Structure 1
Amino acid sequence: MTRSGKRTTIVDIARQAEVSISTVSRVLNGRPVADEVLATRVRKAATELGYRPNMVARDFRRGVTSTIGVVVPDLANPFFPHVLKGLAEEVSAGDHRLLVVDSGEDADQELQLVAQLAGSCDGIILCSPRMPQSSLATLPALGVPIVCTNRSVGDLPFGTVGIDSASGMRQAVAHLAQLGHQQIGYLGGPGTSWSDGLRREGLSTAAADLGVSVSSTEAGSTSDDGHAKLPELLDQGVTAVIAFNDLVAIGALARLRELEMDVPSRLSVVGFDDIPVAAFLGPPLTTVSLPKEELGRRAWAGLHQQLETGQVPQEELLPASLVVRHSTAAPAD
């Protein structure tokens, strides 16, 4: 640091060492110089002045940024901070840093953010992207390695890591059927959500296999959505409800309290994600637990492989598991 309190530059070092700026640049970047005495003076001056290199500028000169862009559809959803935590743990162990942006569940905004990040990031991770397949197909032209989580990309040259939501849904339906429920409702997620498609697939398969009837409605991904849409399923006589995620389930539970309908004696409720608060609700929520932090770790492993080798990793699917708590029981007689 200079006496004025400003950040030390190579100009300051050159002045103190009484050498040219080009000599300082060569020494600090590890390139050979003809006179080792000059090199020693440069290093001594840099130390005395407390010089710290500008890593961004250095990376730019090398043609890399050491920055990984991450696009998230909704940072307010507790699912995604856990994914980011697992991702950050792995990335921070190396030389990269994360730049996280929120698309606000807007597919068009998501596409624009990816295009902006492509010019300043070494690679991009798309968390549960909402954009249609036609938009995804335009991304290879950006020339940056990409990994998607919770989204199938077909034959596009992206790494993909997902969670087997269909299996999780089958487990939830089997649990409810075993309790004796024959009329099950589903508070579905956003229409642009690939995970919601998997859950509906698992719901349909399980219902057919187990001989139960299913009613569904498109709710969304927030507690407000669950609160607003639950009456549509109650009107259809369901005795149990599965929600797209735990936030939607929380909204449904709030609506049931308003209606003075006890859970689980009047209606069983199942969530998805197993966010931390799920275990402390009244009653504690039965939910499908998803390996959120591991999803982040595996996303970085796939992107790191592309950065190091140029090879796109094979699609990976992580398991989901049902956690039974106290929001589900046999239907009332």
Structure 2
Amino acid sequence: MSGIKEVAKQANVSIATVSRVLSKPETVAEKTIKRVLEVIEDLNYQPNAAARQLRMAETTTILVVVPDITNTFFSDVLRGIESVALENGYQVLLGDADNNAEREKGYLSILRQKKAAGMILLTAGIEANIVEEIASEYPVVLACEYLEGVNVPTVSIDNVSGARKATEYLINLGHKRIGFISGPMNSVLGRDRLKGFYQAMAQYSLKVEPDLVQEGNFSYKSGLNMMNKLLAYSHTPTAVFAANDEMAFGAVNAIEQKGLAVPQDISIIGFDDIKFSSIFKPALSTISQPTFDIGTKAMQLLIGLMTNQKMEKTQYILENRLVLRNSCGKWSS
């Protein structure tokens, strides 16, 4: 029986690289992984149970890739996924992409090595053609985010309508000079929520001032920094819509650091309704997503793919709702 040295020699890589392919594939380039696996198969190399599992394609592990494990929005989605997974005899392996598309791609090798029976992507940072290619070979589901024109089972909400709903609420309170802190424009969520904001402003014939639209990255720090930019203008907005709750918290704190108050001086509304939104001071008005349900539906779809069940439909858009708390107030000009 061939050993790891022979595998490394024939694949023209180091022994350490072969070891990483088998233990930490996300750290190895895809073409290297493919070459090493081909040699392993040719030589019938069996270093341990994991390699035998690779050959037999028998695993009860599900891979779930999140864009940022520090974002608490994903905790309830993961709970939903795991609740259905455990009921059906599967265990969940979590991968943190750290908002890095290359790192996200690295996790695909876990599927190729058959160390996971299927994958749920809670991020859409990988190119559409790569996702479509991997989904043609392995069970893959997208949740929270989606990829336009890609035929992969997806569970999400209508982010455009949710953003429109939040903006319209501020308008109905009497606000006309409304600022927006968007998510990154290289993400579908960032683009969709900005689109909903523009649609609502246009519907009520309100002007969007370019300076009052600032691009964040869904982090608390970016919300703080972008709100400070908005506060630096001579005519500050009377209300600000932040494209997620984390940025909304940063915006509130930036306002209060300037000696102003929410909502008396500036109203703030967020998006997501993470748990901290209800206990933050002031309690945050926001758009609520059915996070647990997104997780359960995504896992149900994945099980359907893995067990070759007939799909009635593959695209699910769940309901979002406006949650009113204390961070928004009426405005009269």
For Structure 1 versus Structure 2, the TM-score category normalised by the shorter chain is 0.7 to 0.9
Kindly provide the CA deviation profile for residues 277-316 of structure 1, in whole angstroms up to 9, marking residues without a partner as x.
1111111111111111111011011111111226564211
Output the CA distance in 1 between the equivalents of 2:194 and 2:131: 22
- Alignment check: 8 A CA contact 1:269 1:328 kept: yes
Name the amino acid aligned to 2:314: Q
Once the two structures are overlaid, the 10-residue window that deviates more, 288-297 or 206-215, is 206-215
Output the CA distance in 1 between the equivalents of 2:158 and 2:269: 17
- 1:56: how far off? 7.4
In the alignment, which residue of structure 1 is the partner of 2:66?
72
Name the amino acid aligned to 1:248: M
Helix, strand or coil at the partner of 2:271: strand
In the alignment, which residue of structure 2 is the partner of 1:121?
116
Do residues 109 (structure 1) and 103 (structure 2) align?
Answer: yes
- Alignment check: 8 A CA contact 1:159 1:314 kept: yes
In the alignment, which residue of structure 2 is the partner of 1:225?
222
- Alignment check: 8 A CA contact 1:170 1:203 kept: yes
Name the amino acid aligned to 2:254: R
Output the CA distance in 2 between the equivalents of 1:155 and 1:257: 43
Do residues 272 (structure 1) and 266 (structure 2) align?
Answer: no
Kindly provide the CA deviation profile for residues 77-124 of structure 1, in whole angstroms up to 9, marking residues without a partner as x.
011111000110111001111110100001111112223343211110
Of 111, 117, 131, 1:136 maps to 131
Of 188, 196, 200, 1:202 maps to 196
In the alignment, which residue of structure 2 is the partner of 1:97?
91
How many residues are aligned here? 279
- 1:248: how far off? 0.6
Helix, strand or coil at the partner of 1:273: coil
Q: What does 1:183-332 align with in structure 2 at a 5 Å threshold?
A: 183-214=177-208, 215-234=212-231, 235=233, 237-309=236-308, 311=310, 313-331=313-331
Q: Between the two proteins, what is the percent identity of the paired residues?
A: 30
Name the amino acid aligned to 2:225: A
- 1:253: how far off? 1.0
Output the CA distance in 1 between the equivalents of 2:263 and 2:316: 36
Output the CA distance in 1 between the equivalents of 2:288 and 2:111: 31
Output the CA distance in 2 between the equivalents of 1:118 and 1:172: 42
- 1:154: how far off? 4.0
Kindly provide the CA deviation profile for residues 2-42 of structure 1, in whole angstroms up to 9, marking residues without a partner as x.
xxxxxxxxxxxxxxxxxxxxxxxxxxxxxxxxxxxxxxxxx
In the alignment, which residue of structure 2 is the partner of 1:162?
156
Name the amino acid aligned to 1:152: Y
Output the CA distance in 2 between the equivalents of 1:241 and 1:110: 32
- Alignment check: 8 A CA contact 2:244 2:271 kept: yes
- Alignment check: 8 A CA contact 1:165 1:199 kept: yes
Output the CA distance in 1 between the equivalents of 2:253 and 2:259: 10
In the alignment, which residue of structure 2 is the partner of 1:26?
none
Output the CA distance in 2 between the equivalents of 1:213 and 1:183: 8
Helix, strand or coil at the partner of 1:129: coil
Name the amino acid aligned to 1:133: A
- Alignment check: 8 A CA contact 2:220 2:246 kept: yes
Q: What does 1:46-85 align with in structure 2 at a 5 Å threshold?
A: 63-85=57-79
Output the CA distance in 2 between the equivalents of 1:155 and 1:191: 18
Name the amino acid aligned to 1:150: C
Output the CA distance in 1 between the equivalents of 2:122 and 2:145: 8
In the alignment, which residue of structure 1 is the partner of 2:15?
none
In the alignment, which residue of structure 2 is the partner of 1:175?
169
Q: Which has the higher Rg, Structure 1 or Structure 2?
A: 1
RMSD in angstroms over aligned alpha carbons?
2.2
- Alignment check: 8 A CA contact 1:196 1:244 kept: yes
In the alignment, which residue of structure 2 is the partner of 1:32?
none
Structure 2 unpaired stretches of 5+: 1-47
- Alignment check: 8 A CA contact 2:111 2:138 kept: no
Structure 1 unpaired stretches of 5+: 1-53
Helix, strand or coil at the partner of 1:283: coil
Output the CA distance in 1 between the equivalents of 2:50 and 2:109: 20
Output the CA distance in 1 between the equivalents of 2:58 and 2:225: 48
